[in-house]
A = this chain, B = another copy of it.
Amino acid sequence: MGNIPKIVIVGAGYGGILTAQQLQKELKHNEASVTLINRHDYHYITTHLHMPAAGTDTIEHSRIPIAQLIDEFKVDLVKGTVKEIIPKEKKIVLEDGSLSYDYLVIGLGGEPETFGIPGMDKFALTIRSINSVRLIREHIEYQLALYKNDGKPGRLNFVVGGAGFSGIEFVAELADRLPQLAKAYDIDFNRIQIINVEAAPTALPGFDPELVEYAMDVLKRKGVNFRIGIPIKECLEDGVIVGEGEKIEACTVVWTGGIRGNGLIEKAGFEVMRGRVKIDDFLRAPDHDDIFIIGDSSLMLNPEGRPYPPTAQIAMQQGVICAKNLVATLRNKELNKFVFSNKGTVASLGKGEAVAVVGKRKIKGWVAAQLKKIVDLRYLFIIGGIPLVLKKGRFF
* A373 interface hit (Cβ, 8 Å): no
Contact (Cβ within 8 A) A135 B145: yes
Which listed residue, B135, B146, B148, B149, touches A148 by the CB 8 Å rule?
A: B135
A142 proximity list for chain B (CB < 8 A)? 138-139, 141-142
Which listed residue, B131, B137, B141, B148, touches A131 by the CB 8 Å rule?
A: B148
Per the bound structure, the CA–CA distance linking A149 and B125 in Å amounts to 11
* A132 interface hit (Cβ, 8 Å): yes
Give, as a whole number of angstroms, the nearest-CB distance from A392 to chain B. 17
Per the bound structure, the CA–CA distance linking A137 and B148 in Å amounts to 13
* A134 interface hit (Cβ, 8 Å): yes
Which listed residue, B135, B141, B146, B149, touches A146 by the CB 8 Å rule?
A: B135
Per the bound structure, the CA–CA distance linking A131 and B187 in Å amounts to 12
A135 proximity list for chain B (CB < 8 A)? 145-146, 148-149
Give, as a whole number of angstroms, the nearest-CB distance from A104 to chain B. 28
Per the bound structure, the CA–CA distance linking A141 and B185 in Å amounts to 16
A145 proximity list for chain B (CB < 8 A)? 131, 134-135, 137-139
Closest to A125 in B: B149
Give, as a whole number of angstroms, the nearest-CB distance from A96 to chain B. 15
Closest to A63 in B: B186
Per the bound structure, the CA–CA distance linking A132 and B146 in Å amounts to 9
Per the bound structure, the CA–CA distance linking A344 and B208 in Å amounts to 71
A131 proximity list for chain B (CB < 8 A)? 145, 148-149
Per the bound structure, the CA–CA distance linking A20 and B183 in Å amounts to 29
Question: Per-residue 0/1 for A100-138: is the Cβ within 8 Å of any B Cβ (1 yes, 0 no)?
Answer: 000000000000000000000000000000011011011
Most B CB within 10 A of own CB, among A137, A145, A185: A145
A148 proximity list for chain B (CB < 8 A)? 131, 134-135
Question: Per-residue 0/1 for A301-332: is the Cβ within 8 Å of any B Cβ (1 yes, 0 no)?
Answer: 00000000000000000000000000000000
A137 proximity list for chain B (CB < 8 A)? 145
Per the bound structure, the CA–CA distance linking A134 and B141 in Å amounts to 9
A141 proximity list for chain B (CB < 8 A)? 138, 141-142
Per the bound structure, the CA–CA distance linking A137 and B137 in Å amounts to 14
Give, as a whole number of angstroms, the nearest-CB distance from A299 to chain B. 28
Per the bound structure, the CA–CA distance linking A383 and B135 in Å amounts to 41
A138 proximity list for chain B (CB < 8 A)? 138, 141-142, 144-146
A134 proximity list for chain B (CB < 8 A)? 144-145, 148, 185
Most B CB within 10 A of own CB, among A135, A137, A144: A135
Give, as a whole number of angstroms, the nearest-CB distance from A151 to chain B. 10
Closest to A138 in B: B145
Per the bound structure, the CA–CA distance linking A142 and B139 in Å amounts to 7
Per the bound structure, the CA–CA distance linking A141 and B143 in Å amounts to 12
Give, as a whole number of angstroms, the nearest-CB distance from A144 to chain B. 8
Which listed residue, B132, B144, B149, B185, touches A149 by the CB 8 Å rule?
A: B132
Give, as a whole number of angstroms, the nearest-CB distance from A24 to chain B. 26
Per the bound structure, the CA–CA distance linking A196 and B132 in Å amounts to 31
Closest to A132 in B: B149
22 A-B pairs with C-beta separation under 8 A:
A131-B145, A131-B148, A131-B149, A134-B144, A134-B145, A134-B148, A134-B185, A135-B145, A135-B148, A135-B149, A137-B145, A138-B138, A138-B141, A138-B142, A138-B144, A138-B145, A138-B146, A139-B142, A139-B145, A141-B141, A141-B142, A142-B142
Q: Identify the 8 closest CB pairs spanning chains A and B, nearest first.
A: A138-B145, A131-B148, A134-B145, A135-B145, A138-B142, A142-B142, A138-B141, A135-B149
Beyond known contacts A138-B145, A141-B141: 12 more, CB 8 A cutoff: A131-B145, A134-B145, A134-B148, A134-B185, A135-B148, A135-B149, A137-B145, A138-B138, A138-B142, A138-B146, A141-B142, A142-B142
